[in-house]
Chains A and B, each alone.
Chain A
């Protein structure tokens, strides 16, 4: 069971307080109407799903109710960092 550091609360809390929001850093297209079905479908559904370093959103749902991002290894489940939305991760890896 994961233990997650909430960058807003600045505390290490148990996974049960959080829910995972999936891949982070997927920006909503600014002009959706100009996209083809292909491009729009990619935005909606297609994900990196790497084995290794993954940047993902977490929601401190029974805590501060704020979203933040985590860099987590999807094999070891080690959380390498958490950081606020709008900032960039300091750890980037080419997970496959």
Chain B
């Protein structure tokens, strides 16, 4: 892999950029792989990368039905934070955040991880109790965070409305300075480039249509381009997890729902942090291009249509105008939807299954993007060693039968 740098940019400029190396090869699939990763989104690509990088398993293919990073990786609002309530979730997201902090260097690809901080607003006394609880838990878990006053919120985000006369005034917030945003596409491309350089095959435009098993163990996948053998199959197919699971005769505690987002037209810098509100449901940040990037809620019905209902957009825009009255005159440029796989406890499943050699990583709901590096890291470890990574243990699928749920609904703020 030819390394990227300011110097390489200069050098290539002199030759009119005609000599750049391809970011990844487009190989024909081999007959068999040690591991096939189904799904070429951020999580799948990270899994493949860490399989090769950390575990030395390089005979790996990523099989993607569309194009790399074209699912939720391309559709999310790019928020990164680790201030989750429960130990299990907090530790996983914190691992992820630590990986983010070194990711551009690790991948030699600028993923534009920007630690501009995350505010989670509280609008009533119970919100503030929950915030206090979560921040205290974070602190004792070694995760940065503090509870801040409305005045401090205003300092961090000057256009926000902290008037006590608001319908739901801001009473305070949690503040995680290490949180922020990253460039979503770059994450997928960076991992793909890195994995490719280590020998991983990127098989795009190839849809897995079946999971072939023999004697209760996986032997490969059927695809639209024929059968590909594999000793292990790792499924990371957000938005289609249930469909892929059904191929192996499994059911999941997952429902797929539309999640919508929107962006404004680009405006000059006016919001230098990420602001999230649960009670006044909306979350917002500003991209480097200048767009206000706004996340809406999940629709109430199951859907695979990558679009949702307009009333969800309306509610979100109301919330944004309530929090930032000055944004009322800014214009929405584009809106879209993704499909999120939601689990009953708003936590993912990173698990072995009842089929030998078949692994699932799914159910990230609305919170998957921020977890990309950590998710790939622990999942690769789980697949490589055929046992859960210590940080993945709590996220086994069996918790839905034992009752050991990790309920991030309640006190974790908006679970994005």
Contact = CB atoms under 8 A, between A and B. Distances in A.
A–B direct contact (CB < 8 Å): yes
Contacts of B344: 44-45
B253 A45 contact: yes
A37 B403 CA distance: 9
B303 A74 contact: yes
Interface residues of B, number: 24
B309 A15 contact: yes
Given A38-B401, A49-B242, A75 B254 contact: no
A85 B256 CA distance: 24
Nearest to A70: B301
Given A51-B304, A54-B302, A96 B246 contact: yes
A40 B398 CA distance: 12
A32 B303 CA distance: 31
Contacts of B309: 1-2, 15
Contacts of A38: 401
B194 to A, nearest CB: 32
Contacts, number: 74
Determine chain A's interface SS by DSSP, over half rule. mixed
B303 A77 contact: yes
Interface in B272-319: 300-305, 309-311
Contacts of A2: 301, 309
A51 B253 contact: no
A23 B115 CA distance: 41
A59 to B, nearest CB: 10
Nearest to B242: A49
Given A49-B252, A96-B243, 8 more contacts: A2-B309, A46-B252, A47-B242, A49-B256, A50-B242, A51-B242, A51-B304, A74-B302
Interface of B: 240, 242-243, 246, 251-256, 300-305, 309-311, 344, 400-403
Interface of A: 1-2, 15-16, 19-20, 22, 37-38, 40-42, 44-51, 54, 56, 72, 74-77, 96
Nearest 4 Cβ contacts at the A-B interface: A41-B401, A49-B242, A45-B253, A20-B301
